[in-house]
Amino acid sequence: MMSRLARERRTVSHHVAKQNESVYRYRVTYEVLGRLRFLSHKELMRAMIRAFRRARVPLAYSHGYHPHPLFSFGPPRPVGMAGTAEQLDVRCTAAVQPSELQQRVNAQCPPGLALVAVAIISPTAPAIAAQVTSATYTCTWPHDAPSPEAAIEELLAQPEILCSRVRGTGARCIDLRAGIFAVRWEPPVLQMQLAVQPTCYVRPYDVLAVLTGWPDEIIRRVVITRTGFHYRAGATSEQHGTRNLN
């Protein structure tokens, strides 16, 4: 009897050998809810790749001594944050109907992780990370907290909002205001559209801190959900895949 590890190695070798053949690319929109929102980005990647493998999706693999499946994930989701429209790209060596792929993978996903849409895109379409400019978030406002309407108006009126961030090389000051595109109050939900670009990444927790003045331990208890992405102007609907929020 062939061991499970041997079968997996044989499968990987088979798909690597077919790399010179046609490769099919899919853009997947998925949700991360419940307890799984506490997974790190790397832990989530492993869980998703495991589900695809168990679903026997014909994944394409990289070349080299340690082949790995060709996945490309969108902007990392902060630990503790739920997501209803996260995205990834995956490449396959054989065509699979999007609805079938979704059904097969969902059958292998743990509770709280699910594919909500799958679209076929061009193999040459730009990567998600290269096209995304901002993300939208929702925050259910604490029932005992005062309305943030006046604070929102004051925040948006400021020409700059300086925030200090500590990294391995030390602290640096950034301007949050340049990456705050919208903050709306629709009781009891606060909605935000914030930059997620490498040169300007605004965290919703930082905006909440400026908006409310609450201490970090209170802000971290607020459940924030990332609900979608906005893409660069000029990106086609195919490049957006399953989400086009512009």
Between residues 244 and 38, which one has the greater pLDDT? Answer: 38
Question: Would the pLDDT of 39 be above 90?
Answer: yes
Longest dimension (CA), the chain: 70
What is the pLDDT at residue 3? Answer: 54
Query: Which pairing describes strands 170-175 and 180-186: parallel, antiparallel, or unpaired?
Result: unpaired
Between residues 203 and 13, which one has the greater pLDDT? Answer: 203
Query: Which pairing describes strands 82-92 and 224-231: parallel, antiparallel, or unpaired?
Result: parallel
Task: Tell me what the mean pLDDT of segment 60-72 comes to.
Answer: 92
**pLDDT tens digits along 234-245:** 554 444 444 444
**pLDDT tens digits along 105-137:** 999 999 999 999 999 999 999 999 999 999 999
Q: Do residues 113 and 25 touch, judged by C-beta distance below 8 A?
A: no
What is the pLDDT at residue 235? Answer: 56
Between residues 221 and 115, which one has the greater pLDDT? Answer: 115
What is the pLDDT at residue 191? Answer: 97
Q: Domain 4-124: which topology?
A: Alpha-Beta Plaits (3.30.70)
Where are the domains positioned within the chain?
A: 4-124, 143-221
Q: Do residues 149 and 187 touch, judged by C-beta distance below 8 A?
A: no
* Residue 4: band (very low, low, confident or very high) from pLDDT cuts 50, 70, 90: low
What is the pLDDT at residue 234? Answer: 58
Between residues 220 and 19, which one has the greater pLDDT? Answer: 220
* Residue 22: band (very low, low, confident or very high) from pLDDT cuts 50, 70, 90: confident
Question: Would the pLDDT of 233 be above 80?
Answer: no
Q: Which pairs from 208-211 meet CB under 8 Å and 24+ separation?
A: 208/139, 210/155, 210/161, 210/163, 210/176, 211/148, 211/151, 211/152, 211/155, 211/183
H or E element at residue 1: none
Report the percentage of the chain scoring pLDDT > 90: 72
Range of lowest pLDDT (94-108, 155-169, 174-188, 215-229): 155-169
| Side-chain-side CA neighbours of residue 197 (13 Å) | 16
